[in-house]
Amino acid sequence: MISQKSKYAFRALVALVRAGPGSTRMISEISREQAIPKKFLEQILLELKRAGIVTSHRGRTGGYALLKAPEEVTFGEVLRLIDGPLALLPCLSKIAYRRCEDCRDETNCEIRRVFARVADATRQVLDSTTLADAVDSDLEVLEA
């Protein structure tokens, strides 16, 4: 499950995409429209700014805007930034690999093989889905 922080980050980014290219949105507007606590949103947008995904402008017409095109920002990139590695098992993480403590033989681990397939499929979807895709009304929704 993704964190609430990631959900808020995605909602804020989608709000910026919907504002249009070059448009800025004030934190208070996004906070109110997306029901995100303002202080928490400030922290999230600061993280996204440090990563070069959004930019901020001061002054009366200031606020936040996307720095990258919506087609360039993937869900995988944002999720890794906010929540860290995408792997369900530490032995499958590409950036935070750690051998499972109770594993005797990683190369023959049945559990690892199954979750490796899940991780690969998840990465493929998240790394190929962009913010532009998210606002596309044709994006297929799966029901759990």
The domain ranges of the chain are 4-66, 73-135
The predicted model gives 31-59 an average pLDDT of: 94
Confidence of residue 42 (pLDDT cuts 50, 70, 90): very high
Q: What is the pLDDT of residue 87?
A: 78
Handedness of CA 50, 52, 80, 1 (dihedral sign): positive
Stated pTM of the model: 0.84
Q: Which amino acid is at 102?
A: D
Tokens 């297929």, residue located: 140
* pLDDT exceeds 80 at position 134: yes
- pLDDT > 90 fraction of the chain, expressed in percent and rounded: 60
Residue 63 has pLDDT above 80, yes or no: yes
CATH assignment of 4-66, among 3.40.640.10, 1.10.10.10, 1.10.1200.10, 3.40.50.1110: 1.10.10.10
Residue 144 has pLDDT above 60, yes or no: no
